[in-house]
Amino acid sequence: MRRSVVIVGGGPAGLSAARVLVAAGLRDVLVLERNPGAGGVPRFCGHRGWGMLDFGRFWTGPGYAARLVQSAAGAEIRTNASVLALHPGGELEVSTRDGIERVAARAVLLATGTREAPRAARLLPGTRPWGVLNTGAFQEMVHAGLMVPFRRPVILGSELVGFSALLTARHAGIRPVAMVEEGARIRAPWPAGLVARLAFGVPVIAGARILGIEGGARVEALRIARGGREEAIACDGVIVSGRFLPDAAFARASHLGMDEITGGPAVDAGWRCTDPAYFAAGNVLRPARHSGAVAREGMAAARAILRALGAAR
Ligand SMILES: Cc1cc2nc3c(=O)[nH]c(=O)nc-3n(C[C@H](O)[C@H](O)[C@H](O)COP(=O)(O)OP(=O)(O)OC[C@H]3O[C@@H](n4cnc5c(N)ncnc54)[C@H](O)[C@@H]3O)c2cc1C
Protein backbone atom coordinates (compact mmCIF):
# COMPACT_ATOMS: atom_id res chain seq x y z
CA MET A 1 0.00 0.00 0.00
CA ARG A 2 1.37 3.41 -0.94
CA ARG A 3 0.92 5.86 1.95
CA SER A 4 0.25 9.57 1.49
CA VAL A 5 3.26 10.59 3.58
CA VAL A 6 6.10 8.77 5.32
CA ILE A 7 8.30 10.74 7.71
CA VAL A 8 11.80 9.46 8.43
CA GLY A 9 12.82 10.52 11.95
CA GLY A 10 10.61 11.07 14.97
CA GLY A 11 12.28 14.16 16.44
CA PRO A 12 10.87 17.71 16.78
CA ALA A 13 10.92 18.27 12.98
CA GLY A 14 9.29 14.97 12.01
CA LEU A 15 6.68 14.90 14.77
CA SER A 16 5.73 18.55 14.23
CA ALA A 17 5.24 17.77 10.54
CA ALA A 18 3.09 14.75 11.47
CA ARG A 19 1.00 16.99 13.74
CA VAL A 20 0.18 19.33 10.82
CA LEU A 21 -0.51 16.48 8.37
CA VAL A 22 -2.89 14.73 10.77
CA ALA A 23 -4.64 18.02 11.59
CA ALA A 24 -5.16 18.49 7.83
CA GLY A 25 -7.03 15.20 7.69
CA LEU A 26 -4.43 12.69 6.45
CA ARG A 27 -5.15 9.33 8.08
CA ASP A 28 -2.26 7.23 6.77
CA VAL A 29 0.82 9.17 7.89
CA LEU A 30 3.67 6.90 9.01
CA VAL A 31 6.63 8.05 11.13
CA LEU A 32 9.67 5.76 11.09
CA GLU A 33 12.00 6.11 14.06
CA ARG A 34 15.12 4.01 14.56
CA ASN A 35 15.21 4.37 18.36
CA PRO A 36 12.94 2.44 20.75
CA GLY A 37 11.13 5.72 21.54
CA ALA A 38 10.14 8.75 19.44
CA GLY A 39 11.01 12.33 20.42
CA GLY A 40 14.54 12.81 19.06
CA VAL A 41 17.35 14.52 20.97
CA PRO A 42 15.13 16.12 23.67
CA ARG A 43 14.31 12.66 25.07
CA PHE A 44 17.74 12.65 26.69
CA CYS A 45 18.01 16.27 27.91
CA GLY A 46 16.56 16.43 31.43
CA HIS A 47 16.91 20.19 31.88
CA ARG A 48 14.21 22.76 31.10
CA GLY A 49 14.23 24.96 28.03
CA TRP A 50 12.07 23.16 25.49
CA GLY A 51 8.69 23.91 23.90
CA MET A 52 8.54 27.69 24.20
CA LEU A 53 8.30 28.53 20.49
CA ASP A 54 5.96 25.73 19.41
CA PHE A 55 3.78 25.13 22.50
CA GLY A 56 4.30 28.36 24.44
CA ARG A 57 5.48 26.32 27.47
CA PHE A 58 8.79 25.67 29.17
CA TRP A 59 9.31 21.92 29.57
CA THR A 60 12.15 19.49 30.24
CA GLY A 61 13.40 17.63 27.16
CA PRO A 62 11.57 14.35 27.97
CA GLY A 63 8.38 16.31 28.79
CA TYR A 64 8.65 18.13 25.46
CA ALA A 65 9.31 14.86 23.60
CA ALA A 66 6.18 13.32 25.18
CA ARG A 67 4.10 16.33 24.06
CA LEU A 68 5.44 16.06 20.54
CA VAL A 69 4.42 12.40 20.39
CA GLN A 70 1.01 13.22 21.86
CA SER A 71 0.46 16.05 19.36
CA ALA A 72 1.10 13.65 16.46
CA ALA A 73 -1.61 11.21 17.66
CA GLY A 74 -3.40 9.96 14.58
CA ALA A 75 -0.15 9.23 12.78
CA GLU A 76 1.34 5.75 13.06
CA ILE A 77 4.69 5.98 14.83
CA ARG A 78 6.80 2.90 14.20
CA THR A 79 9.87 2.69 16.46
CA ASN A 80 12.90 0.40 16.05
CA ALA A 81 12.51 1.09 12.33
CA SER A 82 15.67 2.33 10.68
CA VAL A 83 15.60 3.57 7.10
CA LEU A 84 18.50 2.08 5.19
CA ALA A 85 17.98 3.23 1.60
CA LEU A 86 15.95 5.65 -0.52
CA HIS A 87 14.78 4.78 -4.02
CA PRO A 88 13.30 7.03 -6.73
CA GLY A 89 9.62 7.94 -6.44
CA GLY A 90 9.30 7.61 -2.64
CA GLU A 91 10.26 3.97 -2.01
CA LEU A 92 12.19 3.17 1.15
CA GLU A 93 14.05 0.19 2.54
CA VAL A 94 13.48 -0.12 6.27
CA SER A 95 15.18 -2.38 8.80
CA THR A 96 12.75 -3.57 11.50
CA ARG A 97 12.82 -6.32 14.12
CA ASP A 98 11.02 -8.53 11.60
CA GLY A 99 13.62 -7.97 8.88
CA ILE A 100 13.92 -5.64 5.88
CA GLU A 101 10.67 -4.10 4.61
CA ARG A 102 9.86 -1.88 1.64
CA VAL A 103 7.59 1.11 2.27
CA ALA A 104 6.23 3.47 -0.39
CA ALA A 105 4.67 6.93 -0.13
CA ARG A 106 3.53 9.75 -2.40
CA ALA A 107 5.72 12.07 -0.33
CA VAL A 108 8.61 11.29 2.01
CA LEU A 109 9.90 13.81 4.56
CA LEU A 110 13.49 13.31 5.71
CA ALA A 111 13.86 14.59 9.28
CA THR A 112 16.79 12.62 10.65
CA GLY A 113 18.58 15.41 12.52
CA THR A 114 22.31 15.45 13.19
CA ARG A 115 25.11 13.49 14.75
CA GLU A 116 28.22 14.82 16.40
CA ALA A 117 31.70 14.36 14.98
CA PRO A 118 33.60 12.02 17.33
CA ARG A 119 36.89 12.99 18.96
CA ALA A 120 38.96 11.26 16.28
CA ALA A 121 37.33 13.30 13.49
CA ARG A 122 38.08 16.52 15.37
CA LEU A 123 41.80 15.70 15.48
CA LEU A 124 42.09 16.58 19.17
CA PRO A 125 45.69 16.02 20.24
CA GLY A 126 46.83 14.27 23.43
CA THR A 127 46.60 10.87 25.07
CA ARG A 128 43.57 8.56 25.03
CA PRO A 129 42.36 8.43 28.66
CA TRP A 130 38.83 7.46 29.72
CA GLY A 131 36.51 10.45 30.24
CA VAL A 132 36.18 12.10 26.81
CA LEU A 133 32.56 12.14 25.63
CA ASN A 134 30.56 14.13 23.13
CA THR A 135 27.48 15.96 24.42
CA GLY A 136 24.98 13.48 22.99
CA ALA A 137 26.66 10.46 24.63
CA PHE A 138 27.07 12.41 27.89
CA GLN A 139 23.39 13.43 27.99
CA GLU A 140 22.18 9.91 27.17
CA MET A 141 24.42 8.45 29.90
CA VAL A 142 23.14 10.89 32.52
CA HIS A 143 19.53 10.56 31.40
CA ALA A 144 19.62 6.77 31.48
CA GLY A 145 21.07 6.99 35.03
CA LEU A 146 23.82 4.64 33.91
CA MET A 147 26.70 6.37 35.63
CA VAL A 148 28.22 9.74 36.42
CA PRO A 149 31.20 9.66 34.06
CA PHE A 150 33.14 12.49 35.76
CA ARG A 151 32.75 15.19 38.42
CA ARG A 152 34.81 18.16 37.16
CA PRO A 153 34.89 18.13 33.36
CA VAL A 154 35.84 20.84 30.89
CA ILE A 155 33.25 21.58 28.19
CA LEU A 156 34.94 22.08 24.86
CA GLY A 157 32.85 24.34 22.59
CA SER A 158 30.51 27.21 23.39
CA GLU A 159 27.55 26.93 21.05
CA LEU A 160 24.00 26.35 22.37
CA VAL A 161 24.56 22.61 22.74
CA GLY A 162 27.61 23.20 24.98
CA PHE A 163 25.37 25.23 27.28
CA SER A 164 22.79 22.45 27.18
CA ALA A 165 25.57 20.09 28.38
CA LEU A 166 26.30 22.56 31.16
CA LEU A 167 22.67 22.43 32.30
CA THR A 168 22.65 18.62 32.11
CA ALA A 169 25.84 18.50 34.16
CA ARG A 170 24.40 20.69 36.90
CA HIS A 171 21.21 18.64 36.88
CA ALA A 172 23.34 15.54 37.60
CA GLY A 173 25.43 17.21 40.31
CA ILE A 174 28.48 17.51 38.05
CA ARG A 175 30.43 20.78 38.31
CA PRO A 176 32.22 21.75 35.07
CA VAL A 177 35.43 23.69 35.78
CA ALA A 178 35.43 25.70 32.53
CA MET A 179 34.04 26.07 29.02
CA VAL A 180 36.78 26.39 26.43
CA GLU A 181 36.18 27.88 22.98
CA GLU A 182 38.70 27.77 20.16
CA GLY A 183 37.08 30.68 18.32
CA ALA A 184 37.60 34.32 19.28
CA ARG A 185 34.25 34.58 21.07
CA ILE A 186 31.39 32.54 22.53
CA ARG A 187 29.24 31.02 19.81
CA ALA A 188 25.92 30.81 21.66
CA PRO A 189 23.76 33.94 21.58
CA TRP A 190 23.93 36.45 24.42
CA PRO A 191 23.42 36.07 27.42
CA ALA A 192 24.58 32.43 27.51
CA GLY A 193 28.16 33.31 28.50
CA LEU A 194 26.96 35.62 31.25
CA VAL A 195 24.62 32.94 32.61
CA ALA A 196 27.44 30.37 32.64
CA ARG A 197 29.73 32.72 34.56
CA LEU A 198 27.31 34.41 36.92
CA ALA A 199 24.64 31.77 37.54
CA PHE A 200 26.85 28.67 37.41
CA GLY A 201 30.28 30.05 38.26
CA VAL A 202 31.81 28.46 35.16
CA PRO A 203 34.45 30.60 33.40
CA VAL A 204 34.20 30.71 29.60
CA ILE A 205 37.66 30.86 28.00
CA ALA A 206 37.59 31.98 24.35
CA GLY A 207 40.45 32.15 21.85
CA ALA A 208 42.13 29.02 23.24
CA ARG A 209 44.23 26.64 21.15
CA ILE A 210 43.90 23.03 22.31
CA LEU A 211 47.34 21.57 22.89
CA GLY A 212 46.18 18.24 24.25
CA ILE A 213 44.06 16.13 26.53
CA GLU A 214 46.32 14.73 29.24
CA GLY A 215 45.99 11.70 31.50
CA GLY A 216 46.79 8.05 31.97
CA ALA A 217 43.82 5.82 32.72
CA ARG A 218 41.58 8.89 33.27
CA VAL A 219 41.60 12.48 32.05
CA GLU A 220 43.75 14.67 34.31
CA ALA A 221 43.99 17.98 32.45
CA LEU A 222 43.26 19.89 29.28
CA ARG A 223 46.32 21.78 28.06
CA ILE A 224 45.61 25.00 26.15
CA ALA A 225 47.47 28.05 24.83
CA ARG A 226 46.07 31.56 24.80
CA GLY A 227 47.59 35.01 24.61
CA GLY A 228 51.03 33.46 24.01
CA ARG A 229 50.89 31.43 27.26
CA GLU A 230 50.29 27.78 27.95
CA GLU A 231 48.21 26.47 30.82
CA ALA A 232 46.81 23.16 32.05
CA ILE A 233 43.23 23.13 33.31
CA ALA A 234 42.91 20.34 35.88
CA CYS A 235 39.79 18.26 35.18
CA ASP A 236 38.62 14.65 35.21
CA GLY A 237 36.75 14.64 31.90
CA VAL A 238 36.18 16.51 28.64
CA ILE A 239 32.75 17.03 27.08
CA VAL A 240 33.32 17.66 23.39
CA SER A 241 30.45 19.68 21.97
CA GLY A 242 29.56 20.86 18.51
CA ARG A 243 30.81 20.01 14.98
CA PHE A 244 27.45 18.59 13.99
CA LEU A 245 26.97 16.72 10.76
CA PRO A 246 23.60 16.00 9.13
CA ASP A 247 22.58 12.40 9.83
CA ALA A 248 22.17 11.72 6.15
CA ALA A 249 24.48 8.88 5.14
CA PHE A 250 21.57 7.00 3.54
CA ALA A 251 20.60 10.11 1.54
CA ARG A 252 24.20 10.56 0.41
CA ALA A 253 24.23 6.97 -0.83
CA SER A 254 20.96 7.54 -2.74
CA HIS A 255 19.97 9.22 -6.00
CA LEU A 256 19.20 12.53 -4.19
CA GLY A 257 21.36 15.59 -4.78
CA MET A 258 23.29 16.76 -1.70
CA ASP A 259 24.21 20.25 -0.51
CA GLU A 260 27.99 20.22 -0.37
CA ILE A 261 28.11 23.10 2.11
CA THR A 262 25.77 21.73 4.78
CA GLY A 263 26.31 18.04 4.02
CA GLY A 264 22.53 17.47 4.09
CA PRO A 265 20.13 16.84 1.20
CA ALA A 266 19.81 19.74 -1.26
CA VAL A 267 16.35 21.35 -1.06
CA ASP A 268 14.57 24.21 -2.80
CA ALA A 269 12.74 27.03 -1.00
CA GLY A 270 9.78 24.68 -0.48
CA TRP A 271 11.85 21.95 1.31
CA ARG A 272 11.71 19.77 -1.81
CA CYS A 273 14.66 17.54 -2.70
CA THR A 274 15.94 16.89 -6.22
CA ASP A 275 13.47 13.97 -6.50
CA PRO A 276 10.04 15.66 -6.10
CA ALA A 277 8.73 12.75 -3.99
CA TYR A 278 11.22 13.70 -1.24
CA PHE A 279 11.26 16.64 1.17
CA ALA A 280 13.61 17.41 4.06
CA ALA A 281 13.39 19.60 7.16
CA GLY A 282 15.01 20.18 10.54
CA ASN A 283 18.60 19.80 11.57
CA VAL A 284 19.35 17.35 8.80
CA LEU A 285 19.47 20.48 6.62
CA ARG A 286 21.76 22.67 8.69
CA PRO A 287 22.95 21.59 12.07
CA ALA A 288 22.25 22.59 14.75
CA ARG A 289 19.42 25.01 15.52
CA HIS A 290 17.24 24.98 18.61
CA SER A 291 14.19 22.79 18.78
CA GLY A 292 11.55 25.51 18.42
CA ALA A 293 12.93 26.74 15.08
CA VAL A 294 13.24 23.16 13.88
CA ALA A 295 9.67 22.28 14.92
CA ARG A 296 8.37 25.29 13.01
CA GLU A 297 10.34 24.23 9.98
CA GLY A 298 8.83 20.72 10.18
CA MET A 299 5.36 22.31 10.22
CA ALA A 300 6.17 24.52 7.23
CA ALA A 301 7.50 21.53 5.29
CA ALA A 302 4.29 19.62 6.09
CA ARG A 303 2.23 22.48 4.63
CA ALA A 304 4.41 22.37 1.50
CA ILE A 305 3.77 18.61 1.26
CA LEU A 306 0.01 19.18 1.61
CA ARG A 307 0.14 21.69 -1.23
CA ALA A 308 2.13 19.25 -3.36
CA LEU A 309 -0.38 16.47 -2.69
CA GLY A 310 -3.26 18.82 -3.40
CA ALA A 311 -4.59 17.88 0.03
CA ALA A 312 -4.49 21.24 1.80
CA ARG A 313 -7.73 22.11 3.55
C1 LIG B 1 23.24 17.39 22.85
C2 LIG B 1 22.21 18.40 22.37
C3 LIG B 1 21.59 19.28 23.27
C4 LIG B 1 20.61 20.20 22.84
N5 LIG B 1 20.01 21.05 23.74
C6 LIG B 1 19.00 21.86 23.33
C7 LIG B 1 18.26 22.66 24.25
O8 LIG B 1 18.56 22.68 25.44
N9 LIG B 1 17.21 23.42 23.78
C10 LIG B 1 16.85 23.39 22.45
O11 LIG B 1 15.87 24.07 22.05
N12 LIG B 1 17.55 22.68 21.56
C13 LIG B 1 18.61 21.90 21.97
N14 LIG B 1 19.29 21.14 21.07
C15 LIG B 1 18.90 21.20 19.67
C16 LIG B 1 17.68 20.27 19.45
O17 LIG B 1 17.92 19.03 20.06
C18 LIG B 1 17.46 20.11 17.98
O19 LIG B 1 17.16 21.38 17.43
C20 LIG B 1 16.29 19.18 17.65
O21 LIG B 1 16.30 17.98 18.38
C22 LIG B 1 16.38 18.87 16.15
O23 LIG B 1 15.23 18.15 15.78
P24 LIG B 1 15.25 17.19 14.52
O25 LIG B 1 13.90 16.59 14.46
O26 LIG B 1 15.77 17.92 13.35
O27 LIG B 1 16.36 16.09 14.87
P28 LIG B 1 16.52 15.05 16.07
O29 LIG B 1 16.01 15.56 17.35
O30 LIG B 1 17.95 14.62 16.02
O31 LIG B 1 15.60 13.83 15.62
C32 LIG B 1 15.92 13.05 14.50
C33 LIG B 1 15.35 11.66 14.72
O34 LIG B 1 15.57 10.91 13.52
C35 LIG B 1 15.92 9.58 13.90
N36 LIG B 1 16.65 8.97 12.79
C37 LIG B 1 17.88 9.32 12.31
N38 LIG B 1 18.22 8.53 11.28
C39 LIG B 1 17.19 7.66 11.10
C40 LIG B 1 16.95 6.60 10.17
N41 LIG B 1 17.85 6.26 9.23
N42 LIG B 1 15.78 5.91 10.26
C43 LIG B 1 14.84 6.23 11.20
N44 LIG B 1 15.03 7.24 12.11
C45 LIG B 1 16.19 7.94 12.05
C46 LIG B 1 16.76 9.76 15.15
O47 LIG B 1 16.81 8.57 15.93
C48 LIG B 1 16.03 10.91 15.85
O49 LIG B 1 15.06 10.44 16.76
C50 LIG B 1 20.28 20.23 21.48
C51 LIG B 1 20.90 19.36 20.56
C52 LIG B 1 21.87 18.45 20.99
C53 LIG B 1 22.51 17.52 20.00
Distances (CA, A) of 105 to 14, 24, 132, 231: 15, 17, 42, 57
Position 146 scores a pLDDT of 64
- Please tell me the residue having the least CA distance from ligand 1 atom 50: 161
- Please tell me the residue having the least CA distance from ligand 1 atom 12: 290
pLDDT single digits (tens) 43-89: 988 888 899 999 999 999 999 999 999 999 999 999 999 999 999 99
pLDDT single digits (tens) 217-242: 999 999 999 988 999 999 999 999 87
pTM for this model (two decimals): 0.88
**pLDDT higher than threshold 60 for residue 184:** yes
- Please tell me the residue having the least CA distance from ligand 1 atom 35: 9
Least Cα distance to 159 among 187, 134, 135 occurs for: 187
**pLDDT higher than threshold 90 for residue 246:** yes
**pLDDT higher than threshold 90 for residue 276:** yes
Distance 114 CA to ligand 1 centre (A): 6
Domain ranges of the chain: 2-115+244-309, 118-240
- Please tell me the residue having the least CA distance from ligand 1 atom 13: 290
Q: Which atom of ligand 1 is nearest to the CA of 9?
A: 34
* CATH class of domain segment(s) 2-115+244-309: alpha beta
**pLDDT higher than threshold 70 for residue 312:** no
* CATH class of domain segment(s) 118-240: alpha beta
**Average of pLDDT values for 12-33?**
98
Q: Comparing 111 with 198, which gets the higher pLDDT?
A: 111
Q: How far apart are CA 252 and CA 121, in angstroms?
A: 19
Distance 144 CA to ligand 1 centre (A): 17
Q: Is the CB of 250 under 6 A from ligand 1?
A: yes
Distance 64 CA to ligand 1 centre (A): 12
Distance 225 CA to ligand 1 centre (A): 33
Where residue 186 falls among pLDDT bands split at 50, 70, 90?
confident
**pLDDT higher than threshold 70 for residue 165:** yes
Mean residue pLDDT of the chain comes to 91
Q: 278 phi and psi, to 5 degrees?
A: -115, 140
**pLDDT higher than threshold 50 for residue 164:** yes
Position 313 scores a pLDDT of 44
